[in-house]
A and B are shown apart, each in its own frame.
Chain A
């Protein structure tokens, strides 16, 4: 099915408007809010903490624990029952993997760095918004990282490759393919990649390129937001 014009009029490679802010959760060592379109993610970092039970500790480095949760009133339809669910657990795990080799965890042996991601409102692209927020929060906390991490959901709506699908596009009656991608902006290496649907290799290549393009734009915003906390107060 032909998807000639996007529901909200965006260009095919255009992301929704993005805003971000750091230092939003005072009790946390680092925190950030990342909003893309109507999807809002808040990330808070705590730690390094001690780890129990002991067998979970790693003797030479910290472990990273990511917790992803949608608030009960954040879904596009029915209420989301609070409590752990399989989808949330899986997303938490892939987000951990997206950061595992980027963070220098050897600074704090036997400890854990905890990242909590909560979504008060969603409109697709939630795990990617969560990753962007978590990246800001970890940098804001002062942890050693090889690079920031940016993420965006690209894919196919009908027959058209697009960047940053919103919920109406994911739900498109002509079919849609959703591809969340996370990458480190300096090297362009991909640290998270998932795919739901049916897509040709050529379209996948194009989607990943849209993803890289969008991530570089997100990176500029992340950099600016991290520095703004200090720069606006600079003499």
Chain B
């Protein structure tokens, strides 16, 4: 669909959206676990409206950092593959892909949702590295929330691989789940003109001026934030967006019970 920014803004000032939704309404959300269960340690598919993302987890043994000798880690990668949109090109990750990956990483890492100490195999020598690879396969807006949800769902689906004398035995499926102790949920709030909305379509994203991704834990604490877009935000606006995120993350959390 082609819509001019001016027209989009004129509709928004009437408190309406181009697809008839309310400002605080998400499109239909679908979460499916274990989509690549033969090959991945954990995997999931998340759909928000027409935006669809696949995520998978592969674990490798590595050496820990010297200052964190008993901790493993995560590495998040987002590939904006050209299959998902005519706006994406082949090649090394663009800055958009990098931002998506780092924001997803921040939400999971800083919330301490995964106990990295449980990834220790032998202190100072061997730890688990959890690679989370995220692939949007159809992009129609709100990749921030979709990628984050897919990563979280893949973690929830994941089991440790079977280790035999420091080597992974891929012929067997591990039974021990990853130590996911918290459920941090992300909600990105966008601004078009003076109004706030969530879950934008591709056209709405193109017409927007600023966004704020907020990751919130069950106890209501905020564990990660990222502002995007070139328009400056006032403090009241930021707190209004946080209020919206608080409400929406409660709803989204239900998909991860």
Besides the known contacts A42-B83, A72-B131, 9 further A-B residue pairs in the complex with CB atoms under 8 A apart: A25-B137, A49-B86, A71-B133, A72-B56, A73-B40, A74-B40, A77-B170, A82-B133, A121-B37
Bound Cα distance A78, B57 (Å): 11
Query: In the complex the two chains form, is B135's CB within 8 Å of A71's CB?
Result: yes
Q: Is the interface of A mostly helix, strand, loop or mixed?
A: loop
Query: In the complex the two chains form, is B131's CB within 8 Å of A79's CB?
Result: yes
Query: In the complex the two chains form, is A72's CB within 8 Å of B133's CB?
Result: yes
Query: In the complex the two chains form, is B139's CB within 8 Å of A27's CB?
Result: yes
Query: In the complex the two chains form, is A78's CB within 8 Å of B140's CB?
Result: no
Bound Cα distance A40, B135 (Å): 15
Number of interface residues of B (CB under 8 A): 34
Answer yes or no: B213 CB below 8 A from chain A CBs.
Answer: no
Answer yes or no: B102 CB below 8 A from chain A CBs.
Answer: no
**What's the nearest-Cβ distance from chain B to residue A124, in Å?**
11
Name A25's contact: one of B40, B138, B170 (CB within 8 Å). Answer: B138
Within 8 A of B (CB), among A49-88: 49, 67, 69, 71-79, 82-84
B residues near A, CB below 8 A?
A: 35-41, 43, 50, 52, 54, 56-58, 60, 77, 79, 81-86, 90, 92, 131, 133, 135, 137-140, 168, 170
Name A27's contact: one of B35, B36, B79, B85 (CB within 8 Å). Answer: B85
Answer yes or no: A120 CB below 8 A from chain B CBs.
Answer: yes
Number of interface residues of A (CB under 8 A): 31
Residues in B neighbouring A84, C-beta threshold 8 A? 90
Query: In the complex the two chains form, is B56's CB within 8 Å of A73's CB?
Result: yes
Query: In the complex the two chains form, is B50's CB within 8 Å of A38's CB?
Result: no
Known A-B contacts A44-B83, A121-B39; A73 and B57 likewise in contact (beta carbons under 8 Å): yes
Bound Cα distance A38, B77 (Å): 24
Bound Cα distance A2, B67 (Å): 55
